[in-house]
Amino acid sequence: MVFGPALIVVASGLLAFGALRAELTTRRLVIHTRDVLETSASLLATLVGAETAQRGFIITGDTAFLGPDYPSRARADRLLVQLRSLTGDNPTQEARVDTIAQLTSERLAHIDSSVIAMLAGNRDRAVEIVVHGAGRQLVAGIRREIADLQADEERLLRAREEAERSATRSTSAIILLATVVVALFAYFVNQNYDRALLDRRTALNEAQGANQQLQDQAVELEAQANAANAAALEAETARDNAHTALLSAEASERRAERLQAATEAFSGALSLTAVAQLIVEQALAALNADSGILAELEPSTDLLRYVAVRNMVSDLGGTISINLDLPLCTAARTFRPVLLPNPEMIRKEFPAVVSSHMRDGVHAVAAFPLVSAGRVLGALLLRWKEERTLTSVDVSFASALSRIAAEAFARARLFDAEREARAAAESSNRAKAAFLASMSHELRTPLQAALGFSQLMRTGMYGPITDQQAEILGRVERSQTHLARLIDDILDFARLEEGRVSVRLEPVPVTDAISDLMSLVEPQAAGKNINLLLLPPAESLRVQADRRRLQQVLVNLVGNAIKFTPEGGTIRVSALRLGDQVVMRVRDTGVGIPPDRLDAIFEPFVQVDDGLTRSQMGAGLGLAISRDLTRAMGGDLAVESVVGGGSTFSVVLPIASADLVEA
């Protein structure tokens, strides 16, 4: 009966282990199939990239299309080696890989020959190789072989994923069944022990009643003999009581000091691990225990995880169910201390732990729940190598220590949760910035190629074009230029997010910064018949700034003003000195910004007209980039606006240090 629960747990664990091994096997097969699919797709993408670079270079003559990774033979060879390794267990797929390798080698040689001809200045030969060569047939063969390979792998993937799902269902069912069996067995064992305990208590009460009667008779017989000693006993008792009271007061003072020290120690610990270690150390020292362990109840589960261990053979991070019939689990489950002062009580109440305690020489055990705000956060287990009966004072002290520890534990949990959330947010921001940068770089190459083709068509390189076609090509070029500016904005934003934008501060004349705007934004203003007034300051002012970045900020602000100012409106750019700063203002007579949007417009991807029907193009990054650049230069960007009355954007920068000394 003693070893029954342990045998059931072991059997359940073996069943669950077997099911998990089957699940892991099917999972490895699924991952293997997906690796084959991803590697074959990467190989095809490498060939397509090589063709794109070849044709872009032949069309434009720009070696930038070849890129640092050209030629692609080394990458293709690596992917083919990886593909052979992955398909080594499948003769059919291995034969396909050999065919793909041969076709790939021929296609790359074909591409190399056209590039070599182009590099040698023989463009006609290069074009002839591309147009009349065997490249298309080779690519078609490669695509066909890869498609067949992927089709077979897709079929394998579906079959293996179904096997994985089946294994997962089997594992879940086995674990659930084992849990139910263990719980039922524990219930029946507890029922039997409760009945035995009740019978023993009844017999004990009857024996105590008979013993009481005998004691009453003995007291009556001894009353006269004891009367003579009463006075001496009373004096001795009074003396003993005084001594006991003194010891109790000293012990209470020591406990109060220890509670104070524990409170101070807990308040200084922030991490969950540090708090857990302090709790165990304070409890061992306060109650003279030999070993101890603290377990945390994992949120939203019924699992207790060991977080601090002293002088016990238990793995940190290991978990047990709170529903097990163990002293630690019982204290956490019932919200009450469990006190086992001797081996007999341990054997009687928790026979499952007798063997482990005997091995460690344990003769007494106590477990205390850690409760905060009505919720159990975990439990503390203490062990002694000698029999130990805790007094009510000891229990009260241990309970008070547990409450203090629980509050520190709750604070540590909050601190760990906040730290993990902050780390997750920072990781998310880094991933977002990396994605934007990668996406922008990937868009730039085909965009430049398309722009080059349209410009070549306008020059008549591919034959004469009509005026209407020239106008349409001009619109295409303007749209491509606009898209290129959007990509530049996204790249700047990504660099700012990653902290990779550096500024080179130098004295920059304010008059030059404002005057240079005319050639950059006048065509846009003239297109909407907007009166653009550039008013440099009367005095010679210089700001401490990065010349190129300052120009980028001012162009962004004036460009925004032009977009949101109706035809016939006015835009005024001016500057003045305020103390040791210079304020450059861009004021327009546009639509204005609602008060509840004044802060939001500086956030990335936010616009004033932020709806599906907005009339102005743009990614909503200009103001966010402008503010970040201004702050990187030691200044700031602010806005004032009235709906229907226009807006004023103020760029505040420190005055150049040399001018500040002269002033």
Q: End-to-end alpha-carbon separation of the chain, Å?
A: 95
Shared domain check, 176 and 212: no
- Max Cα separation, the chain? 140
Given a contact cutoff of 8 angstroms between Cβ atoms, the answer to whether 371 and 343 are in contact is no
Share of the chain above pLDDT 90, in %: 16
Shared domain check, 223 and 98: no
* Least trusted range by pLDDT, from 225-234, 486-495, 626-635, 643-652: 486-495
Q: What is the pLDDT at residue 625?
A: 85
Shared domain check, 331 and 269: yes
| pLDDT tens-place string over residues 333-353 | 998 999 999 999 989 888 888
Between 425 and 332, residue with greater pLDDT = 332
Shared domain check, 335 and 209: no
- The model's confidence at residue 614, banded by pLDDT at 50, 70 and 90, is very low
Is 19 a member of any domain?
yes
Is 488 a member of any domain?
no
Residue 23 has pLDDT above 60, yes or no: yes
How many structural domains are present in the chain?
4
* Mean pLDDT score of the chain: 79
| pLDDT tens-place string over residues 553-591 | 999 899 889 988 999 999 999 999 999 999 999 999 998
Residue 261 has pLDDT above 80, yes or no: no
Shared domain check, 274 and 159: no
| pLDDT tens-place string over residues 28-49 | 888 988 888 899 888 888 888 8
Residue 548 has pLDDT above 70, yes or no: yes
Closest C-alpha to 12, from 186, 180, 188, 164: 180
Q: What is the pLDDT at residue 611?
A: 43
Tell how strand 375-384 and strand 291-297 pair up: antiparallel
Mean pLDDT, to the nearest integer, of 244-259? 59
Q: What is the pLDDT at residue 612?
A: 35
Shared domain check, 200 and 86: no
- The model's confidence at residue 636, banded by pLDDT at 50, 70 and 90, is very high
Shared domain check, 217 and 158: no
Mean pLDDT, to the nearest integer, of 88-117? 88
Q: What is the pLDDT at residue 242?
A: 47
Q: Which of 169, 204, 229 is the last residue of a domain?
A: 229
Shared domain check, 106 and 15: yes
Cα–Cα distance list, 16 to 170, 318, 586, 624 (Å):
9, 17, 70, 54
Is 519 a member of any domain?
yes
* Least trusted range by pLDDT, from 114-118, 164-168, 204-208, 394-398: 204-208
Residue 11 belongs to what H/E stretch? helix 4-60
Q: What is the pLDDT at residue 340?
A: 92
Radius of gyration of the chain (CA): 41
Between 512 and 242, residue with greater pLDDT = 512
Tell me 656's DSSP state.
P
| pLDDT tens-place string over residues 402-413 | 777 777 767 777
Between 111 and 259, residue with greater pLDDT = 111
CA distance 660 to 645: 36
* Least trusted range by pLDDT, from 66-75, 201-210, 467-476: 66-75
CA distance 148 to 153: 9
Q: What residues make up the domain containing 219?
A: 189-229
Shared domain check, 510 and 396: no
| pLDDT tens-place string over residues 491-547 | 565 555 655 567 889 999 999 999 888 888 888 888 889 999 999 887 889 999 999
Is 151 a member of any domain?
yes
Given a contact cutoff of 8 angstroms between Cβ atoms, the answer to whether 295 and 328 are in contact is yes
Is 499 a member of any domain?
no
Q: What is the CATH number of the domain that holds 77?
A: 1.20.120
Number of Cβ within 10 Å of residue 626's Cβ equals 23
Residue 98 has pLDDT above 70, yes or no: yes
Dihedrals phi, psi of 541, to nearest 5 degrees: -120, 145
Q: What is the pLDDT at residue 429?
A: 60
CA distance 653 to 513: 13
Residue with tokens 């029922």: 191
Shared domain check, 284 and 225: no
Mean pLDDT, to the nearest integer, of 130-156? 85
Shared domain check, 195 and 162: no
Between 219 and 270, residue with greater pLDDT = 219
Cα–Cα distance list, 137 to 110, 114, 133, 632 (Å):
11, 16, 9, 55
Is 283 a member of any domain?
yes
Is 365 a member of any domain?
yes
Given a contact cutoff of 8 angstroms between Cβ atoms, the answer to whether 641 and 561 are in contact is no
Cα–Cα distance list, 59 to 125, 126, 532 (Å):
13, 10, 42
Mean pLDDT, to the nearest integer, of 634-659? 90
Mean pLDDT, to the nearest integer, of 453-475? 75
Rounded-to-10 torsion of CA 411, 415, 418, 422: 170
Q: Which of 171, 205, 229 is the last residue of a domain?
A: 229
Is 459 a member of any domain?
no
Between 610 and 447, residue with greater pLDDT = 447
Q: What is the CATH number of the domain that holds 584?
A: 3.30.565.10
Between 642 and 450, residue with greater pLDDT = 642
Q: What is the CATH number of the domain that holds 399?
A: 3.30.450.40
Closest C-alpha to 484, from 441, 438, 434: 441
Shared domain check, 363 and 283: yes
Given a contact cutoff of 8 angstroms between Cβ atoms, the answer to whether 482 and 619 are in contact is no
313 in helix, strand or coil?
Answer: coil
